[in-house]
Amino acid sequence: MTSRGNLVLMPNALDLGADEVPLADILPAGVMQRAAALAHWVAEDARSARALLKRVGAHFPLALPLQQIAIKELPRPRKGSREAVPAAEWAALLQPALDGHDIGLVSEAGLPAVADPGALLVAAAHEAGLTVLPLPGPSSLLLALAASGMNGQSFAFVGYLPQEPAARALRLRELEALSRRLGQTQILIETPYRNAALLATALEALAPATRLSISCGLTLVAGWTRSDRVSAWRARPQALPDKLPAVFCLLAG
Amino acid sequence: MTSRGNLVLMPNALDLGADEVPLADILPAGVMQRAAALAHWVAEDARSARALLKRVGAHFPLALPLQQIAIKELPRPRKGSREAVPAAEWAALLQPALDGHDIGLVSEAGLPAVADPGALLVAAAHEAGLTVLPLPGPSSLLLALAASGMNGQSFAFVGYLPQEPAARALRLRELEALSRRLGQTQILIETPYRNAALLATALEALAPATRLSISCGLTLVAGWTRSDRVSAWRARPQALPDKLPAVFCLLAG
């Protein structure tokens, strides 16, 4: 019996679309070394996976020349269809592990399968009896939560809000009520060019005493966190960059 | 005007009470370097902070001899009292930053202020107008979530469950119902010696189709994740170590 490979969850940097930070500032050397040894990858985006490997290769020699490393992309969700990805597609992606090779899973930023595609591949790996090995790296969600000073003993990540302003305001008030009832920090994200719109709605919709923390471009040189009551955000408005990812945390006061 | 220091959120390893892992496998070199440069610390536990600095010192020379580095402990929650820690205590802890020195905040494991004390100091830092700088490192919660293959687009960390078996079962069913309604992964933790008791209650209380993932000792050599339906956990029981921290994730099927 051939011994099986593992599914290795490989963190990525958080500098997609921004000035590159030194990889040694955000990834452990052992994690880079492990990435350098992999010849099989599944990626949210092959191009950004290749870019990461190139950066890793500057620290540790890659097992194979970059062009010979197999990088397959995760199946994209079917537009307008709730149909599941056929099991055969997951099986094909996992085949190298069944043949005894470790496979890396990587997303465009941060940890794969967290606020990112990839969870279904991880689930398929468990069903196939493969070992799943998550490697430590940066997560903008938890860095933002830690930096917010809000409740870190109870929190929820709720993803994206509706785009339509009235629906977005309604959802924000719903999250604020939930936060008040449970004492739970609510974490949300938005596409960078909608950061300013989300902040504007939040300042209208939320109660003055509710705390709102925004972390922008975490791990980047330009990164910052501001954690303040809604009343203080209103009194001292702040423009949000439209190209840097932001994480919003709120806790009802 | 003196320029102010930052409050630097320093991640710790996840090997407390276990065999030490090489620090280079779990912390970025840049993060260790930054830790080595700090002369002022606030820690959940001074002894474990000193142990971390000693390990860091093997990679990067510390700014001062270890005994000269100031390590103050976070105020412990007042037993049997809901009284808040007096603001003066936070101010005293933050004084070095007001005097222009960076302060590191570190907990016993993982990211400070996440499932750990420290959030109130971070909040006090924001109130004092200090910059809070979270550094990337391992978080057992998010590693467990990524490794579970469950929904990473919507999840909640709910902390510890009640210890009394009937109340614990009730809470588990409540979380399962919430997970079913919102499609939200529920993440919980337990003191290691109660891991087995929590698993036993979960296998009794949860529906057969609910998915349960347990990650034990993540980042350790002995670490593992098993993600299975409750029915499969029942059919193939598994003993949990009583000394390794475990993270439980559940998603209603």
Confidence class for position B83, pLDDT limits 50, 70, 90: confident
- Least CB-CB distance to B136: which of A138, A155, A156? A138
Residues of B in contact with A26 (CB under 8 A): 28, 30, 136
Q: In whole angstroms, what is the distance from residue A55 CA to residue B249 CA? A: 33
Shared domain check, B61 and B81: yes
Q: Measure CB to CB from residue B146 to each of A9, A143, A155 and give the nearest one.
A: A9
Cβ <8 Å between A132 and B155: no
Mean pLDDT, chain A, rounded, equals 95
pLDDT of residue B76: 80
B116 lies in some domain: yes
The token pair that represents A164 in the structure block: 């339509």
Burial B105-115 (b: 16+ CB within 10 A, else e): bbbbbbbbbbb
Any idea which of A61-70, A205-214, B77-86 has the lowest mean pLDDT? Answer: B77-86
The bridge status of strand A40-43 relative to strand A103-106 is parallel
Angle between helices A140-148 and B119-127 (to 10 degrees): 70
Chain B residue at shortest CA distance from A140: B136
pLDDT tens-place string over residues B122-153 = 999 999 999 999 999 999 999 999 999 999 99
For residue A205, which amino acid is it? A
Considering the domain architecture, whether residues B87 and B39 belong to the same structural domain is answered as: yes
Q: Across the interface, do B114 and A149 touch by the CB < 8 Å criterion?
A: no
pLDDT of residue A92: 96
Among candidate residues B97, B119, B134, the one where a domain is terminated = B134
* Residue of B34, B153, B188 to mutate, interface with A, max A Cβ within 10 Å: B153
Q: How far apart are CA B123 and CA A226, in angstroms?
A: 11
The answer to whether the beta carbons of residues B251 and B181 sit under 8 Å apart is no
Q: What is the mean pLDDT of residues A93-121?
A: 94
Q: Are the beta carbons of B114 and A158 separated by less than 8 Å? A: no
Give the distance from residue B252's alpha carbon to the nearest chain A alpha carbon, in angstroms: 14
pLDDT, tens digit (0-9, with 9 covering 90-100), for A205-232 = 999 999 999 999 999 999 999 999 999 9
Looking at residue A112, its amino acid is: P
* Predicted local confidence at residue B180, as pLDDT: 98
For residue B87, what pLDDT is reported? Answer: 86
CB contact under 8 A, A159 and B158: no
- Residue B227's Cβ-side half-sphere holds a number of Cα atoms within 13 Å equal to 31
Report pLDDT for A83. 72
Q: Does the pTM of the predicted model rise above 0.90? A: yes
Do the domain assignments include residue A1? no
Q: In terms of domains, do B14 and B130 share one?
A: yes
Q: What angle do CA B74, B79, B84 make, to 5 degrees?
A: 60
Residue A175 lies in a domain: yes
ipTM: 0.96
Domain that holds residue A176: 140-251
A75/A176 same-domain check: no
Q: What residues in B contact A22, CB-CB < 8 Å?
A: 30
CATH code of residue A186: 3.30.950.10
Question: With bands split at pLDDT 50, 70 and 90, how would you rate the model's confidence at A78?
Answer: low
- pLDDT tens-place string over residues B98-111: 999 999 999 999 99
Reported confidence tier of residue B80, pLDDT bands at 50, 70, 90: low
**pLDDT tier at A115, thresholds 50, 70, 90:** confident
**Predicted pLDDT of residue B203:** 98
Statement to judge: residues B146 and B90 lie in one domain: no
Average pLDDT over residues A233-247: 95
pLDDT band at B116 (very low <50, low <70, confident <90, very high): confident
| Number of structural domains in chain B | 2
pLDDT band at A80 (very low <50, low <70, confident <90, very high): low
Smallest CA–CA distance, residue A95 to chain B, in Å, is 18
User: In the predicted model, what is the mean pLDDT of chain B?
Assistant: 95
Q: Are A230 and A209 in contact (CB under 8 A)?
A: yes
Give the per-residue pLDDT at B78.
Answer: 63
Distance, CA of B174 to CA of B248 (rounded, Å): 15
Please give the average per-residue pLDDT across A64-79, as a whole number. Answer: 89
φ/ψ of A10, rounded to 5, equals -105, 120
Residues A178 and A94 both lie in one domain: no
- As a whole number, mean pLDDT of residues A37-49 equals 97
Could you tell me the CATH number of the domain that includes residue B27?
Answer: 3.40.1010.10
Residue A240 pLDDT more than 70?
yes
Judge whether residue A37 has pLDDT over 80.
yes
Nearest to B123 among A113, A126, A149 (CB): A149
A34 plus A61 within the same structural domain: yes
- Where residue A81 falls among pLDDT bands split at 50, 70, 90? low
Are B74 and B146 within one domain?
Answer: no
Shortest CA gap A65–chain B (Å): 24
Task: Please report which helix (H) or strand (E) contains residue A171, including its range.
Answer: helix A165-182
B2 within domain boundaries: no
Residue B63 sits in the same domain as residue B92: yes
Query: Of A134, A164, A188, which closes a domain?
Result: A134
Is the pLDDT confidence value at A35 over 90?
yes
DSSP per residue, A81-94: --PPPPHHHHHHHH
In a domain? residue B1? no
Domain assignment present for A2 = no
For B164, phi then psi, to 5°, come to -70, 130
Domain final residue pick, B96, B114, B134: B134
A chain contacts of residue B132, beta-carbon cutoff 8 Å = 147, 149, 225, 227
End-to-end CA distance of chain B: 59
- Residue of A120, A147, A157 lying closest to B132 (CB–CB): A147
| B215 and B162 housed in the same domain | yes
Cβ A147–B134 below 8 Å, yes or no? yes
What is the rounded CA–CA span in Å between residue B162 and residue B145? Answer: 22
